[in-house]
Amino acid sequence: MPKKSNLKKVLILGSGPIVIGQACEFDYSGTQACKAIMKENIDVVLVNSNPATIMTDPEIATKTYIEPLKIEFVEKIIEKERPQAIIPTLGGQTALNLALELHEAGILKKWNVELLGATPDVIKAAEDRELFRSILDKVGAKYPKSYLVRTYEYGLEVATELGYPLILRPNYTLGGGGGGIAYSPEEYRSMIIKALHESPTSEVLVEESIIGWKEYELEVMRDHKGTFVVVCNIENLDPCGVHTGDSITIAPQMTLTDQQYQDMRDEAYKIINLVGVQTGGANIQFAVHPTTGERVVIEMNPRVSRSSALASKATGFPIAKIAALLALGYSMDELKNDITRSTPSSYEPALDYVVTKIPRFAFEKFQGSKDLLTTQMKSVGEVMGIGRTFKESLMKALLSLEFHAEGIPDIAYTSEQLSYPNSQRVWALFQIFRDGKSVEEVQDLTQINPWFLEQIQEIVQFEKHFTKNFKFDESKKEESVQVLLDAKRMGFSDARIAKLCGRKESEILALRHKWGLHPKYSRVDTCAAEFESNTPYLYSSYWSMKSELPAFDKPVAIIGSGPNRIGQGIEFDYSCVRGVKAIQKNGIPVIMMNSNPETVSTDYDTSDLLFFEPLTAECVSEVMWATQAAGFVSQLGGQTPINITKKLLNNGFQLLGSTMRTIDLAEDRGLFSDICKRIGLQIPKSAMVGSYSKALEMQSQVGFPMICRPSFVLGGRRMEVLENPDELKSYFERHKDFISDDKPCLMDQFLDGALEVDVDVVRGKDWIIIGGIIEHIEAAGVHSGDSMGVIPPQRLKDSTCDKIEELSRVLANELEIVGFMNLQMAIKDDVIYVLEANPRSSRSVPFIAKATGIPLIDLGVEAILGKSKKEMQLDKYNWRNISNVCVKGVVFPFKKFSESDSILGPEMKSTGESMGRGSDYSEALMKAFLSSHVKLPSKGEVFFSLREKDKDFLIPIAREMQKMGYQLSATTGTAAYFNENGLECISLKKVHEGRPHCVDHIRKGNVSLVINTTTGRQAIEASFDIRRACIDYSIPCITESDAAVAFLIALKKRNEGSFDVTNL
C-alpha cells in the first residue's frame, strides 16, 4: 500500500532544548523526517522549543512553531492548524511523553488527530515496565529479576530479597535520570527516595544487578505489513553497569556467534510484534552473560533514539526518514535504499568496516561531582570513528574526541580508574597494557570482554615494535616504510608517531608523503560493496587501495564542530548545515567534514561530499589533498576549526573569509586589547600574567572584583570571579597546571552589575550588517551561554543600541573581519565596554536568525565568498523591525551531577537553550522558562536567602509576590530585614544555625520557589545545600537578582493564563 491518501497535514513534535540523554540526534531525525514528508506533498507543522536546531529553520517545515512542548501550547497549535495526524516518534522521550499526555487529556480525540508511528498502547507497553515484563513473559524472554517499587518501605523490603548491588530505574525518565547503582544499603536508601521523586509516576524498578554482562543493542524497523529488519547491531565495550549512552560502543557486534546473534534477533522480532510497533524504528537492549551465554532483555524504546542516529551514520540506512515514511503508510519494500538507489529498504545493511562511538564528558565543569559512570547518563556528546578494522576505528574515534593530538597519549592512572568505569578509563586501558599487564589481569579489573582487550593490547605492543623497527633516517627504508604503513593502518596519528620516535609531527608528515603514504577514501554504502553506490559518504583508511571519490570541480570544505560539549553544540551544526546550503546556492560543491554522528551535517544528503573524519589538522589536510579542495571555511564549526586553521594554512590550503591575522587579533587577548585601546574602545582593565608572583604585582592595577581566565578557552573553562587577594591566591593554586608564560592567565576588571549583550555582525568586502543585539537578563559575570537573553533589548536605551552598533562596525572594520563576528559587550553607567570578539559564527547566531528572520549564515557565506554590496540586497534586513519579543532560556544538567553547584558564574555549564516567542516580554519570558523545564508555581512558598546588596533591590519583588498570594520565608537575616520593611515572612535557620534548618524545610517539600543570591567562595559554599536541594527536588532556584525580576514577570503572565502561539 502506498501512503495514506487522506493525509494532507501532519504535526511533528521535536525534543526541546538539548539535555543530557536527549541531544542533537533528534534534530537529525526530525530534520530528515520533515524533509521526507514534505517531499510527499504533505504539509508539515513542526513544534520545537529549541532555536539552535536545524529543524526549526523556517525552510525545513511548512510551518514552524517555536513554542513550549506542553500540552496547552500544542493544543492551541492543533486548534490553529488542524493537522490530521501527529508523529511523536521522532522527538525522543519528550515527544513520546507529550503525545501520551495529549491522548490522556482527550485532546487528540477532541480535535480528531491520529497518532502515527506509535499509538498510546505501544508507548505504554514499552514504557510501563510491568506491562513490558508481561510481554517478555509471553515471548519467553528473560529479564533481570526486579520489583516495581512505589513506596520507600516496599523499596527496603525488596532490596533485602534481591541483594546488593542493585540497579534503580525510575519509570518515564530520560537517559536513566534519577537512577543508578546502589552498592550498599546506605547508598540505596538515599537513592530510592530520589528515584521515586524523579519518576513522574513515582515508580521505580529495583533490579538485580547484571553488572559485568555483555551489553548489546539492536536498532530495528518494522512496517505495517510486519516486515522486520535489524538495521544495526551494536556491542558495548563497557559491560553492563554503564549507561549505554556513556559506553564505548561498536558496530557491528564483535563477540557473538551467529547462533547467539540470530536468537537475539528472533527475540527482538517477537517483542516488537507483541509490543505492537506498527510502523517505524525501535531499539532493544540485551545483556548476555559472558560465559554461559544466558540472555536478558534490558529495555526497548518504540521510537527513533540516540542510537538510531548512530546506527544511521554507522550503516548509511536513514532510519528517521524511513520511519517517517512508514508512518505515512508505506512499507519497506516500496521504499528504495537511498544509497544504492537500486535495492529496496527491506534489507539489513552489511558493513565492511567497523565503527566505534565514544562519548564525550564534561565532569571538569561540575566541581564536586565524581567522575564515575553508572546507569544514569552523564555524557554531553559523542564521536564516531569509522575504520576498516576495530583498531583503526577506535583510534580514529579517540582522535575525534579532540582530547589529545596523539589520540592515545601516555598518562598517569590509578587502578581505581580501571575498576570503576569513568570518563578516563579508555586511556588507562592503553596505559596499563604499556605497563605490561596481561589481558587476564585487565579483564579481572574491568570485566571487559577479552576480545576488545586483546585489540588494545595489540595496539600497545605495536608501539614497542614501531619504536624498535622504525628508522627515520631511511637507513632501513623498506622495513621503515612497512612499519609506518602498519602504524597508519592501526590508526596512529602523525602526532603519536612523532612522539614514539622523538620527532616533530610535521617531520612525520613530510616523510610519510615522501614515501607516498596517504589514506584512501572508501564509501559507506550499506551493502559491503555488493551493489554500486551513488552516495559519496566517505571515510579514510590506510587499508584501502583505491579512493572511491567522485570528481567535483573546486569544492569548498566546511569543517564541522566535532563532538557536542558544553560551550560548543548544536548551534554550530546549524551554522554548518545552513552554510553548506548557502555555498551550494552559489553553484559551488561543498565538502562537509565532521566526527559527530548525532548531527544533521553528517547526513549523507546535506553536502556534496561527506567525510566522516576526526577534525584534526592531519585528517582534514588529507581530505583536502585528496579532493583538491579550493579552500576551507573555518568560521562555522565553532572553536574546533579555528584551532586547526594555522596548521591547515601551513599545509598550503586556502582559508576563506577572515584571515589568520584577523583570527589572531581577536583570539589573542593581548593583541585584542591593544587594538581596542588604539581605536579608543573601552575595555575592562586587564593584565596578562604567567605566574602567581606576576599576578600579585598586577592585582592593584586591575582591582577587585576581577575575572580570571586562561587564554584560548572555550565556554569559559576555569574562568572565575575573584573578590579579594585570598581568592586570587587560591585560584592560582587550583589552576597552576594551566597557567604558564606560554599559556598566560588573563586578569580582567569585573564590571559588577553591568548589563551584558551579545552582538552578531557580518562583514563583507564593502558592507556590514548587524544581525541583532541580545540583551542578557542576568548581569555581567554569568557566562553568556548560561544567561538568559532577550531581543529586542528591554532595558537598553535606543541611543545605546545605536552606539553598540556603531562600535561593532568600527571593530569589525579594524579587525578586517570577512564573514562572521560575535561580540560580547558590557554596559555600565552608560559606558560600553568590549569584553571579547569571536571571529566566527557564534552560539547566538541561530537564535538571532530565527528571532529576526535575517538569514545570517547565508549573509556570512556571501561575505566569505567575496560578494560586494551591489550583489546583495541588504536593505531588507533590519533587526530592529522585529515585531515579537524573543527570550532565550537555558537548560542545565545539574541534576545528573550530584554534588555539583547550580550557581551561575563565568564558566559555562548549560547544555541547551530554548526560545520563548511572544507579543511582549512577559509572554516570551513565560514561554522561555516553561520551555527550559522551569516550573512556574502558581502558589506556595517563596524562600529567600539574599546577599546584602540585593536585599533592597528585591524587597519590591518580595512584596509583589506576597500580593500575588505567595507565602514568604527567608533565612534569619533576610527574614529580619523583610519584617523591618513590613513584609510578613517565616524565618528559617541557616544550615550552620542548627536543625531544622531551611534545607530541611525545602527537602520536606514546603517550598515552591527559591531566590538565593550570593557572592564569594565562602558564602557560595555555605549556601550550596540550598541550591542542591532545589536541584534534587526540581524546585526553581533563582541565583541572580535580575533573573528574579524576570521570573516574577513570567510568573504573573503564567497566572494570568493567556497566551498565543505563532509560527515563524
Check binding of 91 to another protein (CB under 8 A).
Answer: no
Contact segment (CB under 8 A) with another protein among 264-272, 496-504, 895-903, 1046-1054 equals 264-272
- Beta carbon of residue 342, minimum distance to another protein (angstroms, whole number): 8
Q: How far apart are CA 16 and CA 544, in angstroms?
A: 41
Q: Could you say whether residue 252 binds another protein (CB under 8 A)?
A: yes
For the CB of residue 152, give the shortest distance to another protein in the complex, in Å.
45
**Which DSSP string corresponds to 551-591?**
P-SS-EEEE---S-BTTBSHHHHHHHHHHHHHHHHTT--EE
Helix (H) or strand (E) holding 281: strand 280-288
Minimum gap (Å) between residue 297 Cβ and another protein: 18
273, 469, 506, 544: which one contacts another protein (CB under 8 A)?
544
Interface size with another protein, residues (CB under 8 A): 52
> Least distance from C-beta 525 to another protein, angstroms?
9
Determine which residue in the list 101, 111, 197, 255 makes contact with another protein, applying CB under 8 A: 255
Query: 214: helix, coil or strand?
Result: strand
Q: How far is it, in rounded angstroms, from Cα 973 to Cα 954? A: 14
Rounded to an integer, what distance in angstroms lies between the CA atom of residue 749 and that of residue 1055? Answer: 41
Judged by beta carbon, residue 6 or residue 259, the one nearer another protein is 259
Complex with another protein: residue 113 or 351, whichever CB lies closer: 351
For 8, other C-beta atoms within 10 Å of its C-beta total: 12
- Closest distance of CB 522 from another protein, Å: 6
651 binds another protein (CB under 8 A): no
Instruction: Show the CA angle centred on residue 564, arms to residues 560 and 567, nearest 5°.
Output: 100
Instruction: Based on the shown chain and the rule CB under 8 A, indicate whether residue 258 belongs to the binding site for another protein.
Output: yes
For another protein, which is the closer residue by CB, 542 or 879? 542
Q: For residues 529 and 671, which CB has a smaller minimum distance to another protein in the complex? A: 529
Counting contacts by CB under 8 A, is residue 540 touching another protein?
Answer: no
> Does the protein bind another protein through residue 256 (CB under 8 A)?
yes
Does the footprint of another protein cover residue 522 (CB under 8 A)? yes
| CB-nearer residue toward another protein: 356 or 914 | 356
Confirm if 239 and 341 have CB atoms less than 8 A apart. no
Query: Are 886 and 847 spatial neighbours (Cβ–Cβ below 8 Å)?
Result: yes
CB atoms within 10 A of CB 137: 11
Residue 270 beta carbon to another protein: minimum distance, rounded to whole angstroms: 11
DSSP 867-931: --GGGS-GGG--GGG--SEEEEEEE--GGGSTT------SS----EEEEEEESSHHHHHHHHHHH
Contact assessment for residue 613 and residue 540, using Cβ atoms and an 8 Å cutoff? yes
Minimum CB separation from another protein for residue 262, in Å? 6
The three-state DSSP-derived secondary structure of 382-429 is EEEEEECCHHHHHHHHHHHCCCCCCCCCCCCCCCHHHHCCCCCHHHHH
Q: Which of 390, 462, 537, 612 binds another protein (CB under 8 A)?
A: 390
Cβ closest to another protein, residue 260 vs residue 424: 260
State phi, psi for 94 to the nearest 5 degrees: -60, -50
Kind of pairing between the strands at 590-594 and 63-65:
unpaired
Q: What is the phi/psi pair of residue 155, to 5°? A: -55, -45
User: Judged by CB under 8 A, which stretch of 209-217, 265-273, 375-383, 587-595 contacts another protein?
Assistant: 265-273
Q: By CB under 8 A, tell whether 312 contacts another protein.
A: no
Closest CA to 16 of 934, 918, 787, 1039: 934
Q: Tell the residue number behind the cell numbers 586589547, with chain if given.
A: 673
User: Contact between 164 and another protein (CB under 8 A)?
Assistant: no
* Nearer Cβ to another protein (293/996): 293
Long-range contact set of residues 500-507: C-beta below 8 Å, sequence gap at least 24: 500/463, 500/466, 500/467, 500/470, 501/466, 501/467, 501/470, 501/472, 503/472, 505/405, 505/618, 506/650, 507/472
355 touches 309 (CB < 8 A): no
User: Whose grid coordinates read 567535483?
Assistant: 552
Is the distance from CB of 213 to CB of 288 less than 8 angstroms? yes
Contact flag: residue 239 with another protein (CB under 8 A) = no
Here the cell at position 34 is 520533515
- Which CB, 215 or 778, lies closer to another protein? 215
Using the contact rule CB under 8 A, the part of the chain among 116-124, 190-198, 260-268, 674-682 near another protein is: 260-268
Pick the piece of the chain touching another protein (CB under 8 A) from 39-47, 119-127, 257-265, 1022-1030: 257-265
Work out whether 530 is an interface residue with another protein (CB under 8 A). yes
Q: Which residues pair with 357 in a beta bridge?
A: 249, 384
Taking the least distance from each CB to another protein, the nearer of 388 and 850 is 388
Which part of the chain contacts another protein (CB under 8 A), choosing from 19-27, 93-101, 541-549, 730-738?
A: 541-549
- DSSP bridge pairs for 166: 182, 208
CB of 394 to another protein, least distance (A): 12
Window 325-384: residues binding another protein (CB under 8 A)? 331-333, 342-344, 346-354
Stretch that binds another protein, among 65-73, 190-198, 251-259, 303-311 (CB under 8 A): 251-259
- The correct pick among 130, 266, 741, 993 for binding another protein (CB under 8 A) is 266
DSSP letters along 317-342, please? --HHHHHHHHHTT--GGGSB-TTTSS
Residue located via cell numbers 543493542: 217
Nearer to another protein, 331 or 635 (CB): 331
CA–CA distance, 214 with 237 (Å, rounded to integer): 8
Under rule CB under 8 A, residue 543 binds another protein? yes
**Site for another protein, residues 432 to 491, rule: CB under 8 A:** 439, 450-451, 454
Judged by CB under 8 A, the residue of 527, 728, 759, 770 near another protein is 527
Q: Are 517 and 489 in contact (CB under 8 A)?
A: no
Give me the sheet containing 204-208, strands edge to edge. 146-149, 204-208, 166-170, 180-182
Contact pattern from residue 218 through residue 237 relative to another protein, giving x for each residue in contact according to CB under 8 A and a dash for the rest: -------xxxxx---x----
Query: Which is closer to another protein, CB of 451 or CB of 738?
Result: 451
Contact 228, 422 (CB under 8 A): no
Determine the interface stretch with another protein among 526-534, 760-768, 800-808, 1044-1052 (rule: CB under 8 A): 526-534
Interaction of residue 531 with another protein, rule CB under 8 A: yes
Residue of the chain from 62, 273, 389, 962 that contacts another protein (CB under 8 A): 389
* 547 belongs to the binding site for another protein (CB under 8 A): no
Is residue 612 classed as helix, strand or coil in its secondary structure? strand
To another protein, the closest distance from the beta carbon of 629 in angstroms equals 24
Q: How far is the CB of 294 from another protein (least distance, A)?
A: 16
Q: What is the smallest separation between the CB atom of 528 and another protein, expressed in angstroms?
A: 4
Q: How far is the CB of 271 from another protein (least distance, A)?
A: 15
545 binds another protein (CB under 8 A): yes
Half-sphere exposure of 866 (CA within 13 A, CB side): 2
Q: Is the peptide bond before 793 cis (omega within 30 degrees of 0)?
A: no
Q: How far apart are CA 97 and CA 83, in angstroms?
A: 19
Nearer to another protein, 183 or 451 (CB): 451
Q: Does 1 bind another protein (CB under 8 A)?
A: no
When asked if residue 564 is in the footprint of another protein (CB under 8 A), the reply is: no
Which residue is listed with cell 513520546?
A: 96
Binding residues (CB under 8 A) for another protein: these are 225-229, 233, 252-259, 261-262, 265-266, 269, 331-333, 342-344, 346-354, 388-390, 439, 450-451, 454, 522, 527-532, 543-546
